[in-house]
Amino acid sequence: MSINKFFFPTILSALIVGCAMPLQANDCDKLLFAPAVSKQVVLTMPSRENVAYTAYENIFYVANIENSTYQTLNIYVPETLNRGDSTPIFLRTYIGGYMATTAKSPSASDATGRALKDGYVVCIPGSRGANSTVSRNGKTIYTGTAPNGLLDIKAAIRYLRYNDALIPGTAERIIIDGTSAGGAMSALVGTTGDRPEFDEYLSKMGAAPTSDKVFASVCYCPITDLNHADMEYEWLYGCTNNGVRHLDAEQIIISNELAAECPAYINSLKLTDESDNLITSDNYKEYLKTFLIASAHKALEEGCEIPDTIGIIRFAEKPDFGGFPARDGNGDGRGAPSFGPAGMRPAFNNKTDYVTDIDLDKYLSYVASVTPLKTPPAFDQYGVLIDIPTPENKVFGNAEGTPSNFTEFSLRHRLHDNRATLGKDLMNRIFIMNPMNFISENATSVAPHWFIRHGAKDRDTSFLVPINLATRLKNSGFDVNFFLPWNRPHSGDYNLDDLFGWIDSITKK
């Protein structure tokens, strides 16, 4: 396909003139998109439909490259753009487990293929992670410690914005999509656009001197709020400790101590429901149950069989939902619900029993029976009871590859050294890797639109993590589409009709 936005030499000159310090002119040259370097590709979809597109690959998005294996991006432009030069850009990160990922090609089995089929420009960046290394002076240097993976995604977004006049589509409509740790990155990108905390990092990398805001964030099962995730996990799943979880005596002590710290954190968030009622540790589990009730009822409406043995309580009469507001929701027209316990509920009919309540302890035991729970601490495990680091311990480690704790709790409970403290630099890194720290009313750094999904039997993190993220965003005035899909494990890029119906609804306004 041809680049027809503007006359290329004119734009090239304008970009070089506009390149601000600390980048030099030759660095600006490095960051210019080269539309002539491309290839034509056809992707065959599961429906047998062929999608033709132009591929621009192996593009470095920073001037000061530290790890050439990962710091590249690929751009894919469908033969027919959805809306010409106003077509949104769908940016998919394949980060998982906070590990490194290379820039990949579109897949017919996930959202990248669907985005191309629907006529969107697709960008797939690589990024450094906990396992990315380079050899320097005979030593192995770990290049992906926090926040470097996030910085790489931000730099890729800056590249798209810097070259907006040269790349088809519009960088004013970037939609980022990620799953698990990638979902966390999507949440971080969506909450930290143009935040000054990242300026020095990005400047040293030679990132383009422009904005890194996005229009929308798609977060599937985000593994985030890491410095509170252990206490949230134990507060929720502690009911299973003496049953299906099979913890030993030492693990139960750690679990109970972590759980005891969670109520203060819940109360500090000062979240509210859709009727402005304060959500506290006393009523939080009732709030959680309304999301699960909505999920179970929607599954029944769609013909799913749900056994009563897992804690679902239903009657053939209209429920009152425990005092939370009840109203029928109409979602986005394709089955994706709007936010909140009330807005998420599908319209009731006479063919389906009403799900009126959930025995939460029994349901959580069911979740734990499907996939074994993590042992405490679930995330900041290193040195507490065992010396095995989690991926999160590794990503907060140092350039020499030594893992690090990132909570005061785990430092206090270390087997070999319980006198260690969090240093100033590490505390800063922990702070900027938590999207909850950047969400506030009218925050200009936050993307205006959010699509958040976490499976109703996903035990990789506590249900509190995505619910708190979605609720704080909604409380702060942002557009949030949130749901706990029934019987869905830890996974992403599912129900693509829902996702792209939502994308259409926010980009055609």
Q: Mention every residue, 6+ apart, whose C-beta is less than 8 A from residue 397.
A: 130, 142, 145, 389, 403, 404
Q: Which letter does DSSP use for residue 19 in this model?
A: P
What pLDDT is attached to residue 316?
54
Mean pLDDT of 153-174: 98
Task: Look at residue 2 and tell me whether its pLDDT is greater than 80.
Answer: no
**Measured distance CA(484)–CA(479) in Å, rounded:** 17
What pLDDT is attached to residue 321?
44
* Residue 57 DSSP SS3: strand
Q: Where do we find the tokens 């049953």?
A: 243
Residue-wise pLDDT tens digits, 235-251: 999 999 999 999 999 99
- Sheet architecture: strand order including 50-60: 39-44, 50-60, 72-78, 121-125, 89-92, 174-179, 216-220, 449-453, 479-483
Task: Look at residue 410 and tell me whether its pLDDT is greater than 90.
Answer: yes
Task: Look at residue 506 and tell me whether its pLDDT is greater than 70.
Answer: yes
Burial class (CB in 10 A: 0-12, 13-18, 19+), 375: middle
Read off the tokens for 250: 């030492």
Beta bridge partners of 219: 178, 452
Task: Look at residue 17 and tell me whether its pLDDT is greater than 50.
Answer: no
Residue-wise pLDDT tens digits, 127-156: 999 999 999 999 999 999 999 999 999 999
The candidate with the shortest Cα–Cα distance to 53, out of 102, 114, 117, is 117
Q: How many CB atoms lie within 10 A of CB 189?
A: 26
Beta bridge partners of 178: 219
Residue-wise pLDDT tens digits, 61-89: 999 999 999 999 999 999 999 898 999 99
Read off the tokens for 441: 């009313």
Greater model confidence, 34 or 346: 34
Q: Cα 216 vs. chain centroid, distance in angstroms? A: 11
Side chain identity at 294, as an amino acid letter? A
Q: Mention every residue, 6+ apart, whose C-beta is less than 8 A from residue 228.
A: 262, 265, 436
Q: Which letter does DSSP use for residue 84 in this model?
A: G
Mean pLDDT of 193-197: 98
**Measured distance CA(427)–CA(411) in Å, rounded:** 13
Please report which confidence band the pLDDT of residue 1 belongs to, taking 50, 70 and 90 as the band edges.
Answer: very low
The H-or-E segment that residue 234 falls in is: helix 226-237
Mean pLDDT of 26-37: 84
Mean pLDDT of 10-37: 63
Of 23-27, 167-171, 360-364, where does mean pLDDT reach its minimum? 23-27
Residue-wise pLDDT tens digits, 251-291: 999 999 999 999 999 999 999 999 999 999 999 999 999 99
Angle at the Cα of 450 (from 447 to 456), degrees rounded to 5? Answer: 150
Task: Look at residue 442 and tell me whether its pLDDT is greater than 60.
Answer: yes
The candidate with the shortest Cα–Cα distance to 478, out of 497, 451, 499, is 451
CB 93 within 8 A of CB 105: no
Query: Does the predicted model carry a pTM greater than 0.85?
Result: yes
Task: Look at residue 362 and tell me whether its pLDDT is greater than 90.
Answer: yes
**Measured distance CA(139)–CA(465) in Å, rounded:** 38
CB 149 within 8 A of CB 95: yes
Task: Look at residue 504 and tell me whether its pLDDT is greater than 70.
Answer: yes
* Residue 208 DSSP SS3: coil
What pLDDT is attached to residue 350?
40
**Measured distance CA(430)–CA(197) in Å, rounded:** 12
Task: Look at residue 193 and tell me whether its pLDDT is greater than 90.
Answer: yes
Beta bridge partners of 176: 91, 217
Mean pLDDT of 328-335: 33
Of 150-154, 276-280, 349-353, 432-436, where does mean pLDDT reach its minimum? 349-353
Greater model confidence, 452 or 322: 452
CB 114 within 8 A of CB 500: yes
**Measured distance CA(165)–CA(174) in Å, rounded:** 14
Mean pLDDT of 18-37: 72
Task: Look at residue 348 and tell me whether its pLDDT is greater than 60.
Answer: no
Q: Mention every residue, 6+ apart, whose C-beta is less than 8 A from residue 357.
A: 289, 293, 313, 319, 322
What pLDDT is attached to residue 308?
85
**Measured distance CA(199)–CA(444) in Å, rounded:** 16
Please report which confidence band the pLDDT of residue 340 belongs to, taking 50, 70 and 90 as the band edges.
Answer: very low
What pLDDT is attached to residue 26?
67
Please report which confidence band the pLDDT of residue 322 belongs to, taking 50, 70 and 90 as the band edges.
Answer: very low
Mean pLDDT of 389-400: 97
**Measured distance CA(114)–CA(120) in Å, rounded:** 9
